[in-house]
Structure 1
């Protein structure tokens, strides 16, 4: 396990690795034991602390999802510098804990006292990401949040997401609600590209992302919703920090709480977790 400047590298005894950046509290890489890289990170991503979020990996969305409120898009946690609280290697895992507290920059646009902790644990073929928030002020606060996980794929047409059947979702492209009727979401289907959906009430049901013989099980706790996103070729071409073909190499499956904001009274805590396992 090493920490160099703003980058922290975790290595479990079995060889599983994860890399994190203190810029944005951002998970950059996850490589399970004996397996290739599982996260997509744009080769055009900028690393400008306080200005530009890193494109790819797992950005922390807090305290506002997207443009659903008055704050900058996706809030401020993903662009501010975090501090390393601890890192350790256990008998079968490696763990790092990062922290972000309120300061002048956050209180100027969001007048609340808070403390965020991001814990990342890697072991074998599993990755656990935990986001915790404490209201350290004397007034109630509410927020929306997400772990904006970019999964790396080789062929988007071969990818499916199982476990969303029966859920209502908001289609952010069409600006309309709909029902997911099929048990399988074929992300590469014609007409489904430029995919931006918030699925409500996912809670703790597992999602299975399949690409040919590769399967990743995604489970969440504390987060009510899930987001499935791919910009498609037209929108991707307009993203300065993505290569034109980047859309075909990634799929975001995000643990999120959006439909019903999380409310914390003074001194209260909330914890959300996303766990990924490569089968």
Structure 2
């Protein structure tokens, strides 16, 4: 596979990440002393203008097909510019920017400025997405950080922290209530997951696989998405191997149920933090 223009972030403690300027896309996260934590499909083509499969795509200004734009909007398929890259004593930070242009205004008539900040340190990854309305009219959008976590055995994975939340099942096109605290993606009958959990806000979600735990916390994002295509849908995805579904679980910080509304000059900020225990 070809390699897109990327930034390599390496902290003094050994934590590292790779970020593609195409799509403002986080491709890799290796905490200090630990293996790769993100799934990146070996079939991603890395062609300008085409979404990358895996890592952390930025969904903006529309989530999925819940609106008139192309699926997940345009931010993940446009080139971003590097604003800064800073090396701290025990961390490293990169900031990328995307502004509106003729192409974006042709499909979404708003002036905006997005900033994506990626920080790695020790066993923690922080991703912050900020949006400023730089135009003279009200704008609204939905958004998500579409994080693909790498797993070894999906049957051994559980997610804690969703109990009591209402969710929309995008497969069944119906709402339901999560009654159990553990969600077992590999359980028979639960494959092909595509759920939007509403009102997650700042409650932590814990993804456990055997002795490995990743704690996900968010600020600014109201909702969370849990997604795995399962074997049948995965086989239909040209940019994933047929067994790719068994090696990943998407845990996405998102704001979908109630869109973000910004008046001219206002700014919204959403943050997702992942910590490997």
TM-score by length of 2: 0.99
Within the candidate set 233, 236, 241, 2:234 is matched to: 236
Structure 2 equivalent of residue 86 of structure 1: 84
Contact 2:231 2:243 in 1 (8 A): yes
1:5 positional shift: 7.2
1:35-184 alignment, distance < 5 Å: 35-50=34-49, 52-184=50-182
Distance 2:201 2:108 in 1: 27
> What SS does the aligned partner of 1:233 have?
helix
Structure 2 equivalent of residue 206 of structure 1: 204
Q: Mark the runs of 5 or more structure 1 residues left unpaired by the alignment.
A: none
Distance 2:41 2:151 in 1: 13
Structure 2 equivalent of residue 6 of structure 1: 5
Q: Residues 76-113 of structure 1, C-alpha deviation per residue, up to 9 Å, x if partnerless?
A: 00000000000011001000000000001100000000
Aligned residues: 275
Distance 1:192 1:87 in 2: 42
1:48 positional shift: 1.5
1:27 and 2:26 aligned:
yes
Distance 1:5 1:228 in 2: 27
> What SS does the aligned partner of 2:271 have?
strand
TM-aligned CA distance change 1:200 to 1:30, over 3 Å: same
Distance 2:21 2:96 in 1: 8
Distance 1:89 1:160 in 2: 35
Distance 2:47 2:265 in 1: 33
Contact 2:4 2:20 in 1 (8 A): no
1:188 positional shift: 0.5
Q: Mark the runs of 5 or more structure 2 residues left unpaired by the alignment.
A: none
Structure 1 equivalent of residue 222 of structure 2: 224
Distance 1:46 1:109 in 2: 25
Within the candidate set 213, 216, 234, 1:215 is matched to: 213
1:6 positional shift: 1.7
1:18 positional shift: 0.5
Contact 2:118 2:127 in 1 (8 A): yes
TM-aligned CA distance change 1:260 to 1:15, over 3 Å: same
Distance 2:62 2:103 in 1: 15
Q: Residues 155-181 of structure 1, C-alpha deviation per residue, up to 9 Å, x if partnerless?
A: 000000000000000000000000000
Structure 2 equivalent of residue 269 of structure 1: 267
> What SS does the aligned partner of 2:76 have?
coil
Distance 2:4 2:159 in 1: 37
Q: Residues 169-220 of structure 1, C-alpha deviation per residue, up to 9 Å, x if partnerless?
A: 0000000000000001011000000000000000000000000000000000
TM-score by length of 1: 0.98
Structure 2 equivalent of residue 188 of structure 1: 186
